[in-house]
């Protein structure tokens, strides 16, 4: 397999990144840990960041501000729903920020987040916690390689020891 020099569709890219919001609050960072691996062109990361990284090379540092429409979407009002606490699967302790999937009327699994937990109720929010936010990414490209056939079939990268990331 030839070794790609630039980020393009179907390359597995390793990045270090720090994500901050307009408020200056840092919400996530890989710095000091393992780089994030993603499969370029497969929607593994938000569209605004993925588009900006195309054609970059190892060692490039990229600063990009992604608006909500190309990030986690605009925040929809009235997208919360309170459910009784006993509706939550037993054995799971609901905590704010927890994500899970529920089936809608069409049988599709949609993501939902726990917004609030009270004694009797859990408030669910269908907005991503970062919906409505401008996302300020500071990225360093640390690796680029071609994807394996298995990774392309799965639509995500696999770790150095096989499928243990998933």
Q: Which two tokens stand for residue 80?
A: 């919360």
Q: What distances in angstroms separate CA 51 from CA 57, 85, 148, one per listed residue?
A: 14, 41, 22
Q: Which residue, 145 or 154, is less far from Zn ion as judged by CB?
A: 154
Q: Under a CB-based contact definition with an 8 Å cutoff, are residues 25 and 48 in contact?
A: no
Query: x-or-dash pattern for Zn ion, window 129-158, by CB under 5 A?
Result: -------------------------x----
Q: Which residue, 75 or 154, is less far from Zn ion as judged by CB?
A: 154
Find the shortest distance in angstroms from Cβ 80 to Zn ion. 33
3-state secondary structure of 80: strand
Q: Is 161 in the site for Zn ion (CB under 5 A)?
A: no
Find the shortest distance in angstroms from Cβ 18 to Zn ion. 27
Q: Which residue, 26 or 148, is less far from Zn ion as judged by CB?
A: 148
Alpha-carbon gap, residue 63 to 140, rounded angstroms? 9
Residues 57-116 that bind Zn ion (CB under 5 A): none
Q: How many residues bind Zn ion (CB under 5 A)?
A: 2
Q: What distances in angstroms separate CA 98 from CA 67, 104, 111, one per listed residue?
A: 24, 19, 10
Residues in contact with Zn ion by CB under 5 A are 154, 166
């Amino acid at each position: 397999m030839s070794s790609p020099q630039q980020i393009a569709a179907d390359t597995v890219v390793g990045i270090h990144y720090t994500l901050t919001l307009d408020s200056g609050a840092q919400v996530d960072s890989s710095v000091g840990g393992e780089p994030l691996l993603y499969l370029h062109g497969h929607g593994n990361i938000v569209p605004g960041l993925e588009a900006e990284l195309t054609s970059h090379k190892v060692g490039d540092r990229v600063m990009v501000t992604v608006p909500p429409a190309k990030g986690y979407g605009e925040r929809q009002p009235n997208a919360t729903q309170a459910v009784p606490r006993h509706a939550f699967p037993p054995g799971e302790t609901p905590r704010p920020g927890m994500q899970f999937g529920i089936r809608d009327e069409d049988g599709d699994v949609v993501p939902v987040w726990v917004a609030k937990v009270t004694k009797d109720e859990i408030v669910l929010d269908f907005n991503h916690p970062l919906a409505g936010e401008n996302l300020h990414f500071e990225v360093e490209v640390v690796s680029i390689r071609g994807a394996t056939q298995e990774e392309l079939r799965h639509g995500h990268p696999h770790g150095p020891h096989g499928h243990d990331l998933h």
